[in-house]
Structure 1
Amino acid sequence: MSQYQIAVIVGSLRKDSFNRKLASAMEKLAPPEFSFKQLQIGDLPLYDQDEDANQADAVKRLKTEIMAAQGVLFVTPEYNRSISGVLKNAIDHASRPYGQSAWTGKPAGILGTSVGPHGTAMAQQHLRNILASLDMPTLGQPEAYIHAREGLFDESGSIGESSKDFLQKWMNRYVVWVKNHTA
């Protein structure tokens, strides 16, 4: 495969989200055969199993975009030591109805940044547990719990020099991960 479309799920709706900035900056570290699309999740209704047979248009759109992708990149904040409700809602919608999950087999990567010194370690661990149950092969190493501090991003919105080497290595591993799981 010469082109790889990556579905990006940012678990924050905030306009100036550090995780949205991280997602955009990480795209710049990928090779040209990788393209990224940040998927909209803020317009999804709350998940209700009674609606599985008649999913909302926003849910159908999300599932279609995930199924069209060769991989998924989750960029998650940490809310109360876990993932955000909006991220969990999106995961639940795209995994239903039972037996019709859009996630199955999609190679995944997880990143996250937070102003706390431990980055998003707890949220990422919770997300790994969820993705395992969805049959998503998830990149295990290197783990990337990014402390959002001065210099993480440069003036242009790219990854700053102090984090660039580490995050470039992460992206290089993710690229190989996706290629190996889509071959």
Structure 2
Amino acid sequence: MVESEAILAAWDAYSDKHTDAAGWPYDEVSYGWRMVQRDSETWRAFQSIRHSAHELLATAAVQLQLQLQLQHINAGDVEPRWAWQLGELTRALEQVEALQSGHVEVREARRSLPPVSQEEFVDSVAKRNEEAWGYLDTWATQGRVLLDIHAVALTAPPRILSVASAPAAAAARRQVGRRG
């Protein structure tokens, strides 16, 4: 998340410097190439958590639910927006996974055809990254909620923490051997 936040901050600084007051780029080609770089960097940064994202979301959802049900946490410590943020992260993850699956399917289907050029391959990866950027941006801007929920859960009695870790452990067992 920190890396994605840094990428977003660098993009905002670049965009502010290279666009006019209406938001139009001074040099569309350079701006476009910088967007491709931003999208690629954001995709790469998300890969470090993509395979565990479901477990992170499941654990945070259980922690939040337990906090609300058991009321062992001060009411002011639980933010009303957290449930919404978890929903947004879940939807964004589903879209990122769908884009990756589609990209893999196209690559697999092309195996029986003549090889694509390096340029076509790079273009297909850039297209996937571009389509995923908005969803990855959601993770960059909303992902901190996972840490916020966990930080509040750490103030709960130990029984809540052990129950909350069960979804992550079960999901991790399902994920063994599944990478994509």
Give the TM interval when normalised to the shorter protein.
Answer: 0.3 to 0.5
Greater RCO (Cα-Cα under 8 Å, separation 6 or more): 2
Which of these two proteins has the greater Rg computed from alpha carbons? 2
TM-score, scaled to structure 2? 0.35
